Structure 1
Amino acid sequence: MRFEILGSLRITDGQDVFTVTAPKMESLLAALAVRAEDVVSMDQMRIEIWGDGPPRRAAATLHVYISQLRKLLGRVDQDHSPIVTRFPGYVLEIGDGSLDAHEFQRFARQGRSAFRVGRYQEASVALHRALALWRGTVLGELRGGPIVDEFATWAEETRLECVEWGNEADLMIGRHRELVGPLYALVNKHPLIEAFHRQLMLALYRSDRRADALQVFQRVRSLLDRELGIAPCRALHELHQRILADDGSRVPAAA
């Protein structure tokens, strides 16, 4: 049995996919999955599901939800009930490799470690495997509770970090032409992340598109001045000067 939270919440067992259709039960299972192997207290569950306005019989209702979730998960794995009572609440006990977010973290760590020691091909493979686990917006319909919201914020920031490191690794192994299209999409979606603009400039220059690379700098400089009243960062300025000089030996393969 595998829990997947890098997208909508679902449980898989081989080729079979299971979902929870009751919204509050789904929110409860999402909180348990996010905190897998750690206790989620009854108070935390109340806040996650009802915020500041829990019903009078919230504790009894939570026990009912837990019972129903156990029945659902029991249909997936009849030999093991992963939701365990542990004071002051409950814990979702899962095995190694049974949560996509844990697998994502493992690949991300492998990719960063490989990049730092110059194994760029290995880094690219690991980081792209991490990103391939994403199926959409993290627990998008279940936002609003502190447990899920905190996790979703962390996950999205880590995903963007993996994208950036993956691009750097691909630039180091000469995949600049393949990156141009995806990087244009990234700067349109995340216009204030200067690293993506720098990577696009570098990919364009290495693809013999010097004029396009210079246009990227002009656009990001105008955008930052208009939106924030700031100039581009040093890395962007230095790359811009090197491209202006058209000295390929002074333009790094990646930053």
Structure 2
Amino acid sequence: MISARKKEILLAALLIRAGQVVSRDQLIDELWGDQPPRRAAAALHVYVSQLRDFLRRSDGTRHPIVTRAPGYLLELGEDELDCHAFQRLLNEGRVHARAQRHEEAVVSFEQALAQWRGPALDGLKEGLIVSGFVTWQEELRLECLEMTVASSLAFGRDHELIGFLYSLIVEHPLHEAFYQGLMTALYRAGRRADAMQVYRRACEVLRRELGLEPCRPLRDLHQTILVAEDDFGSHALSMR
């Protein structure tokens, strides 16, 4: 295992930019920020050499890190990273959702979410390459969760969603789309009072944390539930 934190950061940056040349200056910034050591280029060379030994191909003849001006390039070959599989499955789900094939969309979205093993690159987010990638991936995961909820509601998985949405609200207490999804699922399940309680919770959290009122779609959904008859089951989250 690679234990030195600097080598972990270096490997993460090269993996993120796999197939692209990352300059020595970019890697030095990633490793040390605005306080590089006096011999940063030499230290970087040592880290790269150690990574090469760690990543050497099983036949012992070559490694995936190539020196190419003005820096280094990591060649993945036919390997697929979890993040690449996640993005591929997310894109498949988007295509299904736009075509109103919501059951197939949910399968793709859930397979995409299964690629996550925990917080992305936890503890390695100091440099621009890694922190920018982590932010992008977390936004994509949030989009995937939203679209999973929307497509699940579109083909009637209301009861199955309730517990999932309660957990999402705990994880993302300021994300109004999850309150909207939970209110919809609860109402369809015949739990109107619980749906109203979710709205009150959303109002309290948003006012306390941000000093804001709920967004227009959430307020409209609240009003719809207040005045709705038994045919409310046709209401669902809007798709992207």
Q: Deviations over 1:60-80 (max 9, x none)?
A: 121121111111111556354
Does the CA-based 8 Å contact 2:180-2:237 persist in structure 1?
Answer: no
1:114 aligns with 2:96: yes
Look up the SS of the partner of 1:226 in the other structure: helix
Mean Cα displacement is larger for which, 213-222 or 123-132?
A: 213-222
What TM-score, normalized to structure 1? 0.88
- Cross-structure match for 1:6: none
- Cross-structure match for 2:7: 25
Look up the SS of the partner of 1:21 in the other structure: coil
**RMSD across aligned C-alpha pairs, in angstroms?**
1.6
Structure 2 stretches lacking a partner, 5+ long: none
Does the CA-based 8 Å contact 1:180-1:204 persist in structure 2?
Answer: yes
1:166 aligns with 2:112: no
User: 2:130 is matched with which residue: 148, 156, 162?
Assistant: 148
Alignment of 1:56-95 (within 5 A): 56-74=38-56, 76=58, 78=60, 80-95=62-77
Once the two structures are TM-superposed, the CA of residue 20 in structure 1 deviates from its matched residue by 1.4
What TM-score, normalized to structure 2? 0.93
Q: Give identity over the alignment, percent.
A: 53
1:254 aligns with 2:222: no
* Cα separation, 2, equivalents of 1:80 and 1:203: 55
- Cross-structure match for 1:195: 177
- For residues 234 and 33 of structure 1, do their structure 2 counterparts lie closer, same or farther at Cα, with a shift above 3 Å needed? same
* Cα separation, 1, equivalents of 2:126 and 2:58: 28
- For residues 77 and 180 of structure 1, do their structure 2 counterparts lie closer, same or farther at Cα, with a shift above 3 Å needed? farther
- Cross-structure match for 1:48: 30
* Cα separation, 1, equivalents of 2:3 and 2:226: 57
* Cα separation, 1, equivalents of 2:79 and 2:230: 45
Once the two structures are TM-superposed, the CA of residue 96 in structure 1 deviates from its matched residue by 4.2
Name the amino acid aligned to 1:196.
Answer: F
Q: Deviations over 1:159-183 (max 9, x none)?
A: 1110110111111121111111111
- For residues 248 and 65 of structure 1, do their structure 2 counterparts lie closer, same or farther at Cα, with a shift above 3 Å needed? same
1:102 aligns with 2:113: no
Name the amino acid aligned to 1:253.
Answer: A
- Cross-structure match for 1:10: none
